[in-house]
Amino acid sequence: MWTTFTTTVRTLLHTPSAVVWTLVFPIVLATVFNFMFEPLRAQESVEAIDVAVLDDDAWRASPFSQVIDALATQDEPLLRAIPVNSTKDARSLVKDGMADGAFSIQSNGEPLLVLAPTDSSGNSSHSINRAILESILTSYLQNQSLVANVAQNNPATLATHPQ
């Protein structure tokens, strides 16, 4: 067995393409990836996204506010919630660039997201923050719809079962 292995290795070493693809290419690729992703490793933490929230009775009664509070009160928060008293104040913060978006609760109880206009300067963090805020809202709405559908079609699924 050992003889077969050593003979195979010697044969492969006489083939230049095999040496390149099995030894040189992985080392070069690992080096390139190391230099490409070094800035991500050097970054100590994720910056919290500033988001305005319309702090009214509808907001405090909404389960969505609990989601936002949970994301804002972690050890490394994803969001920094800025409470405001009116939609005008929220839109002003978004327009002035003080917040990347604003959450409020509509009269039907559904959350609403107002995003800052797209950034023409090419700032990638702005686009990423917009995508994160959209993802938070979309995920919440999908989960809410799923739970409502399950509750309507099979309410026994949501009942707690003793272990």
59-76, pLDDT tens digit by residue? 999 999 999 999 999 888
Q: Are residues 53 and 85 in the same domain?
A: yes
Task: Give helix then strand counts, H and E, for the chain.
Answer: 7, 4
User: pTM of the entire structure?
Assistant: 0.66
Rounded Cα gap, residues 67 and 12, in angstroms: 58
> What residues contact residue 126 under an 8 Å CB cut-off, 6+ apart?
100, 116, 118, 119
Determine, yes or no, domain membership for 160: no
User: What CATH number does residue 98 fall under?
Assistant: 3.40.190
Rounded Cα gap, residues 161 and 163, in angstroms: 6
Q: 95-152: per-residue pLDDT in tens? A: 888 899 999 999 888 999 988 777 655 556 677 888 899 999 999 999 998 888 888 8
